[in-house]
Amino acid sequence: MMSDMDLSAEFLPTLGDIDAQDWNQLAGGDYPFLRHEFLYGLETTGCTNSESGWQPCHLVLRDAQGLLAIMPLYLKSHSYGEYVFDWSWADAWQRSGLEYYPKLVSAIPFTPATGPRLCTRDATTTEQVWPAVLQALRQFSERQGISSWHLLFPEEAQSQQLLDLDTHRRTATQFHWFNEGYASFDEFLATFSSRKRKNLRRERTRVVEQGLTLQTLTGSEISEADWLQFHRFYQQTYAKRSGHGGYLTRDFFLKTAPSLGEKVVMVVAKQSGLAVAAALYFRSADTLYGRYWGCEREFDCLHFEACYYRGIEYCIEHGLQRFDPGAQGEHKIQRGFRPVSTWSNHWIADPQLSAAVGNFTRQEETHTQQYQSQAAELLPFKAKD
């Protein structure tokens, strides 16, 4: 374990306070959402700031050799855009005469995609650094009157490392697709039972019957006009679902998303030559992340085609091992997406409320495990001998 005396902690009010190359050297080049250009792009395009309730407060640790560790961190005045729902905790705080907000959140804003959260230099392991991180968070929280710290969608190993460090873990469920060496979409579909296979083929046929054609674009193939169109679809779809235009600004789609180059994939649907819908993905070396969808009007089965089936085809064609299409959605099960666990870790300053959260998470995990077992029974695959 590293001595806390050897380290200094700093909380950055903007990612512009650290050199992009220094940050990316620790963050790595593969997981797209932790890249400096993505997180700083969210800031500079007006998506994460005090007005949006996502105030950057990124944590960096330094030792005698320089930058040792980095972790995305935000000061939150609400719980929107997190996908780990804690509104009941906020109510419990209020009933106890305490304030739940502000709180600290280590997450990728608006992005429920599992990945690294604490990144370290060279051979230093995150397990060695976590005690110093938690000490810095506690001291900062005490000075600022912050109720809690929440680590959302970490990799399982990092979540596990925190279990012995006075944090509570929540387990939730998403539905992911896994590539078992399929040579084609038809080969994947051949693993389905006959009835389920016919249902899926009927959905894909229905898209064609409506005169829709789809094109998959990557990186520089996506024009400025495509991005402007996508932003319009995104706003329209968010407005229909939630009454507001979404978390991401026009400049995010024009500046930040294109800066990720070949890590960005867009599926555009057209009818009579005009774009009517689009789905946006990001990718790493082995995983495709389905993130945003928007449409001008509704078409039968188009969402399934653009957001799921074209994503599966992309993974097969490019040898990606996993497709994470986003949060929630039991309708994904019958389309071959398996239930998987996601995690979050929570440090609570108040001892009594911390104990209550611990009881809640333990009970919740039992229900989550039962739910995943039941969901797996609904998968469309043929019964194996």
pLDDT at 2: 45
Distances in Å between the alpha carbon of 40 and those of 35, 136, 206, 317? 8, 23, 41, 32
Q: What is the rounded distance in angstroms from the CA atom of residue 93 to the CA atom of residue 144?
A: 17
List per-residue pLDDT tens for the chain, 385 residues long: 344 458 999 999 999 999 999 999 999 999 999 999 999 999 999 999 999 999 999 999 999 999 999 999 999 999 999 999 999 999 999 999 999 999 999 999 999 999 999 999 988 999 999 999 999 999 999 999 999 999 999 999 999 999 989 999 999 999 999 999 999 999 999 999 999 999 999 999 999 999 999 999 999 999 999 999 999 999 999 888 777 778 999 999 999 999 999 999 999 999 999 999 999 999 999 999 999 999 999 999 999 999 999 999 999 999 999 999 999 889 999 999 999 999 999 999 999 999 999 999 999 999 999 999 999 999 999 987 4
Query: Which alpha helices (DSSP H) does 60-184 contain, by range?
Result: 87-95, 126-144, 156-161
Contacts of 128 (CB under 8 A, 6+ apart): 1, 2, 120
Distances in Å between the alpha carbon of 78 and those of 86, 107, 315, 318? 10, 14, 36, 39
Q: What is the rounded distance in angstroms from the CA atom of residue 226 to the CA atom of residue 266?
A: 9
Strands 264-271, 274-283: pairing kind: antiparallel
- All CATH 3.40.630.30 domain ranges of the chain, comma separated, are 4-174+340-376, 180-320
Cis peptide before 102 (omega within 30 of 0): yes
Q: Give the H/E segment covering residue 341.
A: strand 338-348
Determine phi and psi for 72, rounding to 5 degrees: -65, 140
Tokens read off for 86: 């804690």
By the 8 A CB rule, do 257 and 263 touch? no
Q: What is the rounded distance in angstroms from the CA atom of residue 196 to the CA atom of residue 336?
A: 10
By the 8 A CB rule, do 105 and 74 touch? yes
Helices (H) and strands (E) in the chain, counts: 12, 15
DSSP per residue, 213-231: EEEEEEGGGS-HHHHHHHH
Vertex 43, ends 37 and 49: CA angle to 5°? 155
Tokens read off for 149: 């710290």
pLDDT at 123: 83
By the 8 A CB rule, do 285 and 188 touch? no
pLDDT at 141: 98
Q: What is the rounded distance in angstroms from the CA atom of residue 158 to the CA atom of residue 223?
A: 38
- Given CATH 3.40.630.30, say whether it is the number of domain 4-174+340-376: yes
User: 96: how many CB neighbours lie within 10 A of its CB?
Assistant: 13
pLDDT at 3: 46
Q: What is the rounded distance in angstroms from the CA atom of residue 366 to the CA atom of residue 25?
A: 39
299 closest CA partner among 211, 200, 185: 211
- Given CATH 3.90.420.10, say whether it is the number of domain 180-320: no
pLDDT at 383: 84
pLDDT at 258: 97
The residue type of 84 is: V
Tokens read off for 253: 């789609």
By the 8 A CB rule, do 361 and 355 touch? no
